[in-house]
Chain A
Amino acid sequence: MEEKNEWILQQLDELYHKADFYDKALIKATKEIIIEQDKRMFQMEGELDGTLWSPKNWYD
């Protein structure tokens, strides 16, 4: 996970424990959005690396 995402998730965890039910729900949903964004970026970066290093592109 990217460091900046990991850091904000920790900050949101702290807020979560102090929040009421409604804010907890929003913080939880926010964390899930960031985790999903991080996963997509990781997968796309992997796809990009894989494509760049694919032998079929070496001879173009």
Chain B
Amino acid sequence: MKTLVIISHPSILESSSQQFLLSVIPENEGVTVHHLEEVYPDGKIDVDKEHRLLEEHDRIIFQFPFYWYSSPAFLKHWQDEVLTDGFAHGKQGDKLAGKEFGLVFMIGVHEREYQAGGRELYSISELMKPFQAMAHKTGMVYLAPFTVFQFAYMTDEEKMELLINYQQYLTNSNDDSLEAKEAWIIKQLQKMDPEDIGQEADNIIQHTIELIEENRMSINELKVVIDQMY
């Protein structure tokens, strides 16, 4: 699977959350990062190039800071210019159909405020309706948004969870099951280089992989036995 991360951020170098996410983008896993303000400093979008990029990828992500309940203006401009009739919608405009569409965005306010009764009143699902409608119109599968609330207050442990969850959002199948997560973790463990971590650590990692696989077999066998009892 190939993932295109379209970032819109007018001052990305000053954003610690964006820099953190950029630093943990998985290598050699088919992820392309495309920062619009950097590629088009004059604001003039090469529509043909954008169409080619979109066609080459299976999962399209918009990544941005949350400005006035939406994205920065340049991402809206990109939508207006790139998602044209005949390409993204309308007659024969089916080039995005069947792709997956996800949102990654950073919010400075606590998560609990985005609900009825909270200070922001509306939920993220409600506020993201225009993006969901865009995915619907273009035939894309809308993924549950990946939200990062109050990055500045995160502990190291929370940042570790963020790192893993973000990498999974970009590269794992759209499947939140334990089994899918096991497969993803095993793939990552297999990529650890014995020369970097040492022989002893590598033995533990190999043993861990075998154990996760054994546990999975046991879970599947138990499922079969329980199903047969009813």
Contacts and interface: CB of A to CB of B under 8 A. Distances in A.
Range for the number of chain B residues in contact with chain A = 20 to 34
Interface stretch (B93-101, B126-134, B185-193): B185-193
Interface in A12-48: 12, 14-15, 18-19, 21-26, 28-30, 33-34, 36-38, 40-41, 44-45, 47-48
B229 interface: yes
B77 interface: no
B219 A37 contact: yes
The interface residues of chain B, by DSSP majority, are classed as helix
B208 A30 contact: yes
B2 interface: no
B197 A23 contact: yes
B164 A44 contact: no
Contacts of A52: 229
Given A26-B188, A48-B222, A33 B178 contact: yes
Majority secondary structure of chain A interface residues (helix, strand, loop or mixed): helix
Interface of B: 24, 156-157, 159-161, 163-164, 178, 181-182, 185, 188-189, 192, 197, 201, 204-205, 207-208, 211-212, 215-216, 218-219, 222-223, 225-226, 229
